[in-house]
């Protein structure tokens, strides 16, 4: 007797989805071959990519690495492939990569060890810039990643004073006195704030350290050096160069421009007329002048306004100008974040009884910085790439060194290999900053 009921009495087993709708094939159908028009575009794009790679891959991998001149490179190419066309001469990178990274910084800026026999000293080559770079990674790691031990913040606080000492050398007491100036400014704020208010305390915290640095820091450092001498051989700024110089300028400008930009953004929104006028005037003037103009002012015109005989390090002048330039743009980015906050956030801070600085530190500024992350990182990347402009004022950054290398008779006429190597170096750093920006946005995303 057959079952004619209309109710299913057993469940059919699940079937696998069609092979053309899952996996790589399914993704390709949905994204690359969804209709005839997309299919044609995909085929044309693949043909173009193949055409580009067919020329680039042999140029990169069918190349010469061991050569001391462009002529020798071409001779090796002719003997190996019968032609010099379509083959890179990476011998210039193999021959000059240390110069592209460190410029003319001495490999052994230490007192040679008389027992070493070769006069190179006990420390490995480029020990000081390499140590400065490693300490940089350690110093920024607890700032970028909050799950690391907070004790590493000690390195973060000490790094701005250790790095100049490692790079330029001299007595350790100079950086110590500079650090002491910040401590004196903090003490001045704590002492003046209860007596005369926050505004007067801020002014005291700014001017007291300046007076200390201009009058007492040098003599005190000299006395301490006479008592306990802790110094390393000095290296002149004219020997700085290569990618090391770009990292130095970029790190200082990025690290200093963010806090300066925050204060400029707050000053622009201040109700105090003088403070607002100064901040607006500074921001608009700096943003209205090309960076190259500021660099020319730093390298040429600034000495005219200084007293005769005054020595003002060229790299320090460039650092100041690039930092001020970046801070002006950073101020506008952060001001955009402040403007994006709803008025209720400010009213909520007032309802909690918080004063201005407490509200900014606990409620307003964290949200504004979160909103401004893409613009902040974009400004950072732009500043780091703009460090190549220093080659115009005579500093030997990677591009400046590439011109010097091509001026050598041995490598006269080589272009693409040098520029490709420099582009890869900058890409690694800029891409890393971009990826971290996306990571931070995902981490701080709290929904709407």
State residue 80's pLDDT score: 86
Taking the alpha carbons at both ends of the chain, their separation in whole angstroms is 63
CA–CA separation, 255 and 168 (whole Å): 19
Q: Which whole number is the average pLDDT over 291-313?
A: 76
CA–CA separation, 362 and 165 (whole Å): 35
Query: Could you please report the per-residue DSSP string of 379-392?
Result: HHHHHHHHGGGGGG
pLDDT of 117 above 50 = no
State residue 299's pLDDT score: 81
CA–CA separation, 300 and 395 (whole Å): 13
Q: Is 241 helix (H, G, I), strand (E, B) or coil?
A: strand
State residue 280's pLDDT score: 92
Q: DSSP class of residue 118?
A: S
pTM of the model: 0.84
Q: Dump pLDDT digits (tens) for 269-289.
A: 888 888 899 999 999 999 999
Cβ-Cβ contacts under 8 Å for 200 (sequence gap 6 or more): 192
Higher pLDDT residue, 6 or 328? 328
Q: Which of 132, 133, 126 is nearest to 106 (CA)?
A: 126
Q: Dump pLDDT digits (tens) for 135-186.
A: 999 999 988 888 888 888 899 999 999 999 999 988 999 999 999 999 999 9
Contact 324, 298 (CB under 8 A): no
Q: Which structure tokens are listed for 138?
A: 């350690």
Contact 127, 167 (CB under 8 A): no
Q: How confident is the model at residue 61 (pLDDT cuts 50, 70, 90)?
A: confident
Q: Which of 65, 58, 57 is nearest to 92 (CA)?
A: 65
Q: Which structure tokens are listed for 49?
A: 């990519």
15 CB-side CA count, 13 A? 4
Contact 178, 161 (CB under 8 A): yes
State residue 41's pLDDT score: 92
- Mean residue pLDDT across the chain: 86
Q: Which structure tokens are listed for 54?
A: 């067919």
Q: Dump pLDDT digits (tens) for 324-352.
A: 999 999 999 999 988 888 888 888 888 88
Q: What is the helix (H) or strand (E) element at residue 171, kind and residue range?
A: strand 170-171
Q: How many residues does the chain have?
A: 448
Q: Which of 237, 257, 288 is nearest to 384 (CA)?
A: 257
Q: Which whole number is the average pLDDT over 255-279?
A: 90
Beta partners for residue 231, in sequence order: 171
Q: pLDDT over 90 for what percent of the chain? A: 32
CA–CA separation, 194 and 99 (whole Å): 55
Contact 338, 265 (CB under 8 A): yes
State residue 122's pLDDT score: 53
Q: What is the helix (H) or strand (E) element at residue 231, kind and residue range?
A: strand 231-232
Contact 391, 403 (CB under 8 A): yes
Q: Which of 158, 149, 154 is nearest to 182 (CA)?
A: 158
């Amino acid at each position: 007797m057959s079952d004619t009921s209309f109710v299913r009495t057993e469940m059919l087993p699940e079937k696998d989805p069609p092979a053309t709708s899952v996996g790589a094939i399914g993704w390709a159908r949905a994204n690359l071959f969804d209709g005839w028009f997309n299919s044609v575009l995909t085929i044309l794009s693949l043909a173009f990519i193949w055409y580009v790679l067919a020329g680039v891959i042999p140029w990169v991998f069918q190349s010469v690495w061991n050569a001391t001149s462009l002529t020798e490179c071409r001779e090796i190419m002719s003997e190996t492939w019968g032609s010099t066309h379509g083959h890179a001469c990476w011998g210039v990178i193999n021959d000059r990569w240390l110069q592209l990274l460190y410029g003319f910084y001495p490999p052994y800026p230490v007192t040679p060890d008389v027992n070493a026999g070769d006069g190179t000293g006990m420390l490995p080559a480029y020990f000081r810039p390499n140590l400065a770079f490693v300490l940089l990674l350690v110093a920024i790691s607890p700032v970028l990643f909050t799950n690391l031990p907070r004790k590493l913040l000690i390195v973060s606080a000490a790094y701005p004073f250790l790095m100049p000492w490692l790079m330029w050398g001299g007595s350790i007491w100079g950086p110590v006195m500079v650090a002491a100036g910040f401590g004196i400014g903090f003490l001045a704020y704590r002492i003046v704030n209860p007596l005369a208010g926050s505004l007067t305390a801020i002014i005291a915290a700014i001017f007291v350290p300046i007076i200390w640095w201009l009058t007492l820091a040098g003599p005190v450092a000299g006395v301490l050096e006479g008592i306990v001498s802790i110094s390393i051989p000095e290296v002149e700024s004219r020997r700085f160069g290569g990618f090391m110089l770009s990292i130095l300028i970029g790190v200082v400008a990025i690290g200093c421009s963010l806090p300066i930009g925050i204060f400029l953004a707050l000053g622009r929104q201040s109700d105090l007329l003088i403070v607002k006028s100064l901040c607006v005037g500074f921001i608009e003037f700096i943003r209205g002048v090309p960076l190259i103009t500021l660099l020319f002012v730093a390298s040429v015109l600034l000495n005219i306004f200084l007293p005769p005989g005054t020595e003002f390090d060229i790299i320090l002048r460039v650092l100041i100008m690039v930092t001020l330039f970046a801070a002006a743009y950073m101020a506008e980015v952060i001001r955009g974040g402040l403007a994006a906050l709803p008025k209720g956030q400010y009213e909520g801070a007032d309802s909690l009884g918080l004063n201005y600085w407490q509200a900014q530190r606990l409620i307003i500024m964290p949200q504004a910085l979160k909103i401004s992350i893409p613009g902040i990182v974009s400004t950072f990347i732009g500043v780091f790439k703009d460090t190549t402009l220093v080659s115009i004022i005579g500093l030997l950054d990677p591009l400046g060194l590439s011109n010097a290398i091509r001026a050598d008779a041995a490598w006269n006429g080589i272009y693409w290999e040098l520029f490709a190597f420099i582009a890869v170096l900058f890409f690694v750093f800029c891409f890393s900053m971009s990826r971290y920006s996306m990571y931070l946005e995902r981490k701080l995303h709290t929904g709407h």
